[in-house]
Amino acid sequence: MAFRLDTLWSKITLVCLLPLLWVIIDITFDNLGPDPIQTLHIRLGDWAMRFLWLTLLVTPVQTITKWPGMADYRQMLGLYAFFYATLHVIVYLLVDHGLMWQIIAVDILESSYIWFGLIAYLIIIALAISSPKWAKKRMGKQWKKLHRLIYIASLAVIIHYYWQLKGNMAEPLFYLIIIILLLAFRVAVWFKNRKFIKMMIPTTRRIKVVSVVKALNPELSIDLQGPVIKELIIQEVEPD
């Protein structure tokens, strides 16, 4: 498939790669400040987190705009979260610790905030591997269950982020507000759907009863709220 620059898809792809380009330029021109490894680490971690928030933003936007094609963008943004998180982890393992596994193990054991980064990363890996359409088809209902773990990953990332913070709290506070709003939206939709399903149950039952009665006597005209139906429903709920 040819890469065409005039599609929204390719434009978003290029925009998502800009933070990486910016990092490469800063490395090339030695522009990463007095502690380049830490700056690199922080920049990649920040972008992984921002893409995770953008991924979570897709469903509310889709619910509000009713644009079905948004699911593809959710997958793309999720994969970018995985991509930047992987670079963040590579910098930690390779650049920061030179793949010295004993030192890495001690660091992980001593720094509780890294456990949460690790939990988040393991979940993000599972979500990225299972993100292609064929995997979704193959996994059926399990796919949705697995992909709900994105909320656990988000909470783990928030803890990972806040636990090691130092200095200016303006940006972290902004992220916290965004993530609370995103999660609140999901909870509200969940409650609304549950209420809706509960409201649906009596109606479905009534319709089933009507179809049974109609099947027995097709000429019978039935009022849904009428006494015959109410009686049948009572009999169905409380059999004597």
* List of residues contacting ligand HEM (CB under 6 A): 38, 41-42, 45-46, 48-49, 52, 81, 85, 88-89, 92, 114, 117-118, 120-121, 124, 157, 160-161, 164
Q: How many whole angstroms separate alpha carbon 210 and alpha carbon 128? A: 48
**Closer CB to ligand HEM, 12 or 155, in the complex:** 155
**Closer CB to ligand HEM, 92 or 210, in the complex:** 92
**Closer CB to ligand HEM, 118 or 222, in the complex:** 118
Question: Would you mind telling me the total number of residues written for the chain in this entry?
Answer: 240
Beta carbons of 19 and 43 less than 8 angstroms apart? yes
**Closer CB to ligand HEM, 42 or 79, in the complex:** 42
Q: How many whole angstroms separate alpha carbon 53 and alpha carbon 57? A: 6
The structure tokens 């292609």 sit at: 132
Beta carbons of 143 and 136 less than 8 angstroms apart? yes
Q: How many whole angstroms separate alpha carbon 80 and alpha carbon 175? A: 18
CB of 146 to ligand HEM, least distance (A): 17
The CA-to-CA distance between both ends of the chain, in Å, stands at: 67
Q: How many whole angstroms separate alpha carbon 45 and alpha carbon 21? A: 15
**Closer CB to ligand HEM, 103 or 220, in the complex:** 103
Q: How many whole angstroms separate alpha carbon 130 and alpha carbon 63? A: 23
CB of 64 to ligand HEM, least distance (A): 25
CB of 31 to ligand HEM, least distance (A): 18
CB of 162 to ligand HEM, least distance (A): 9
CB of 75 to ligand HEM, least distance (A): 16
